[in-house]
């Protein structure tokens, strides 16, 4: 889902393709270094679809903060009904930019499986793309760049609360075949989630509740040289007009 202001990072590639395997021969640089740089920097195109997801993390009451003590596990816990979860449910839209390009998108957030999980589906349209950036940092071919521009970016994120620790638990999947797992906490209207990607790199995403209809997201990803890449974006709730009531007899 994300920031969903599209700045939120194309999450890193979860598999190494044949071109990446050959990259060390062309550049003379270690394969592990190339894979790490590629996955971290690819993380910066759609801060929103990723944010999209991150945006929707349920948890304990924001005034009390997320629980840290171990709790007893229930056979069938009650549905997620906290204020944060209720606030997240709905339709959101945003736009953003990154080193990879520009885009806009929407995020649909809903409860599923009896209210036990928060499901976030993000869909972004790419309005401007930097092919050279994708080729250099993600080893993308001309055909892949063209296909990516046409297809856009889609993500699926699933969240719930760990019964024992009270931590936010998240899982992310996208149309780049990226896979990530996140854990985090919430306090005073702000949620912080640490993500670990299948490729091995890590990132941190912060979601802030600005108002009932506005959220702000920040994502920070450490680079191999010790610097930190930061992306920011915002999303607004899509308000739909209620359908007019039909008059009796019409």
Is the pTM above the cut of 0.85? no
pLDDT tier at 86 (50, 70, 90 boundaries)? very high
Is 242 part of any domain?
no
For residue 181, is pLDDT > 90? Answer: yes
Q: Which of the residue ranges 177-186, 210-219, 226-235 would you say has the lowest mean pLDDT?
A: 226-235
Is 10 part of any domain?
no
Is 247 part of any domain?
no
pLDDT tier at 241 (50, 70, 90 boundaries)? low
Taking only the tens place, the pLDDT of each residue in 29-43 is: 555 544 444 444 444
pLDDT tier at 115 (50, 70, 90 boundaries)? very high
For residue 250, is pLDDT > 80? Answer: no
- pLDDT (0 to 100) of residue 130: 87
Is 29 part of any domain?
yes
Is 153 part of any domain?
yes
Q: Which of 3-7, 136-140, 170-174 has the highest mean pLDDT?
A: 170-174
Is 195 part of any domain?
yes
- pLDDT (0 to 100) of residue 249: 52
Q: Which of the residue ranges 40-44, 115-119, 151-155, 199-203 would you say has the lowest mean pLDDT?
A: 40-44
Q: 118 near 109, Cβ under 8 Å?
A: yes
Average pLDDT over residues 206-234: 85
For residue 72, is pLDDT > 50? Answer: yes
Number of domains in the chain: 1
What is the domain extent for residue 50?
18-237
Taking only the tens place, the pLDDT of each residue in 96-111 is: 777 777 888 999 999 9
Is 243 part of any domain?
no
Is 4 part of any domain?
no
CA 32 – CA 21 distance, rounded (Å): 10
For residue 5, is pLDDT > 50? Answer: no
Q: Which residue has the higher pLDDT, 218 or 111?
A: 111
We report the CATH number of the domain holding residue 230 as 2.40.128.20
- pLDDT (0 to 100) of residue 243: 62
- pLDDT (0 to 100) of residue 245: 65
Q: 45 near 100, Cβ under 8 Å?
A: yes
């Amino acid at each position: 889902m994300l920031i969903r202001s599209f700045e939120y990072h194309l999450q890193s590639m979860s598999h190494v393709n044949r071109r990446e395997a050959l990259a060390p021969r062309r550049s003379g640089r270690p394969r592990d270094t190339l894979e790490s740089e590629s996955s971290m920097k690819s993380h910066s195109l759609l801060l929103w679809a990723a944010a999209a997801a991150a945006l929707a993390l349920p948890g304990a009451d924001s005034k009390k903060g997320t629980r840290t003590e171990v709790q007893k596990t229930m056979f069938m816990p009650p549905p997620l009904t906290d204020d944060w979860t209720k606030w997240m449910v709905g339709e959101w839209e945003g736009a953003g930019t990154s080193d990879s390009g520009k885009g806009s998108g929407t995020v649909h957030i809903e409860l599923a499986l009896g209210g036990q999980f928060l499901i976030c589906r993000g869909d972004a349209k790419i309005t401007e793309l930097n092919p050279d950036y994708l080729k250099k940092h993600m080893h993308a071919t001309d055909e892949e760049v063209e296909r990516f521009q046409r297809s856009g970016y889609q993500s699926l994120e699933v969240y719930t609360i760990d019964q024992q620790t009270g931590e936010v638990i998240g899982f992310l999947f996208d149309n780049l075949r990226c896979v990530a797992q996140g854990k985090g906490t919430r306090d005073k209207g702000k949620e912080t989630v640490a993500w670990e990607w299948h490729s091995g790199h890590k990132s941190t995403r912060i979601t802030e509740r600005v108002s009932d209809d506005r959220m702000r997201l920040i994502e920070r990803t450490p680079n191999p040289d010790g610097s930190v890449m930061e992306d920011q974006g915002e999303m607004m709730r899509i308000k739909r007009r209620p359908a007019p009531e039909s008059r009796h007899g019409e």
